[in-house]
Amino acid sequence: MTAAMVLDVGLALLVVAVAVWIVAAGSAFAAVVGFVSFGLLLALAWARLAAVDVALTEAAIGSGVTGALLMTAASRLRPTESRSAGERPGAFLHVVAAVLAVLVSAGLAALVLIPASPAPSLAPAAAVHLPELDVLNPVTAVLMAYRAVDTLLEKIVLLLALIGVWSLAPDRFWGGAPGLWPRSRPDGELTLLARLLPPIGIVVGIYILWVGAIAPGGAFQGGAILAAMWLLIMIAGLRPVPEIHRQWLRLVLVVGPAVFLTVGFAGFFLPNGFLSYPAQFTKPLIIVIEVVLTLSIAAILGLLVAGPPERERQR
């Protein structure tokens, strides 16, 4: 038994233990704390599975940004917790749910234990065109070139989610600014953190975006870091939360998907189809798309956490 094996067994057990905590915890806030830990441990597991790109995404979005979002919700919904305790389903439903869960788990475990042989893989196919694309990170190549249509649609999903969140605002607040945990009195420490951390964070975010071409990293991960830094500045009150009717804000939100779509449609006329890049411009086009996408992703993620408008529009 090697050290790596012991580490893997321990990590897998720990992930399951934290998952049990999330389901069993007494209060929603405690469960959310468990969820943040869960995301962090999953990031370690992804690194062990040789998927550092995913580890970065999990650390940034899965644990960090989602954790912040759920924490807000848990603290706002705290008054409702004791009331819903009486709505716990009976023993019968518990047993049925447990049996169902065990069956599903057993089925998945069987799939894992009886692997297909040889294991299916698209890695060789992905490797063939990497030199042409001049993108050395295969995951970025898949996201930006081979399966670019998935990435484009995912941006649309992000935008739709934001529109959905905004439409839940009461009419009188339409066009106003999101609430985002307004603090009654700003602490000196928080202000200090919000002044010191974002400059470093922005450099790291841009670095993660830039390194995405040759090593794990890319638009999502960089965008999530930028979003977290923006949120930090707004939480500390150093910059106001923007009102959602602002033209510049809406421009930033759509510029990424819009450029991506334009390049995609241009593919009809220049090369040979939707979302195919002209051979000599592949690398520059991918870089341009990634840069604007990062900007849009950062803005959308930040505003999704900030929630629907909760203040009236200022004239």
Of residues 60-119, those binding another protein (CB under 8 A): 60-81, 83-85, 87-89, 93-94, 97-98, 100-102, 104-106, 108-109, 111-113, 115, 119
Residue 226 CB, nearest approach to another protein (Å): 10
d(CA 157, CA 159): 5
Nearer to another protein, 6 or 270 (CB): 6
Residue 194 in contact with residue 238, Cβ under 8 Å?
A: yes
Q: Which residues contact 214 (CB under 8 A, 6 or more apart)?
A: 135, 136, 137
Residue 60 in contact with residue 221, Cβ under 8 Å?
A: yes
- Which of 173, 177, 217, 257 forms a contact with another protein (CB under 8 A)? 217
Nearer to another protein, 144 or 252 (CB): 144
Residue 6 CB, nearest approach to another protein (Å): 6
End-to-end CA distance of the chain: give it in Å, rounded: 69
- Residue 145 engages another protein in binding (rule: CB under 8 A): no
Map the footprint of another protein across residues 165-184, applying CB under 8 A. Answer: 165, 168, 181, 183
Angle at which helices 28-48 and 66-76 cross, to 10° = 170
Residue 148 CB, nearest approach to another protein (Å): 10
- Which of 133, 176, 209, 216 forms a contact with another protein (CB under 8 A)? 216
> Of the candidates 186, 152, 160, 163, which has an alpha carbon nearest to the alpha carbon of residue 258?
152
- Which of 136, 196, 249, 251 forms a contact with another protein (CB under 8 A)? 196
Q: Is 178 helix (H, G, I), strand (E, B) or coil?
A: strand
Residue 14 CB, nearest approach to another protein (Å): 5
Helices then strands, each counted (H, E), the chain:
14, 0
d(CA 179, CA 232): 14
Map the footprint of another protein across residues 1-60, applying CB under 8 A. Answer: 2-12, 14-23, 25, 28-60
- Residue 164 engages another protein in binding (rule: CB under 8 A): yes
Residue 178 in contact with residue 303, Cβ under 8 Å?
A: yes
Site string for another protein, 234-273 (x = CB under 8 A): -x--------------------------------------
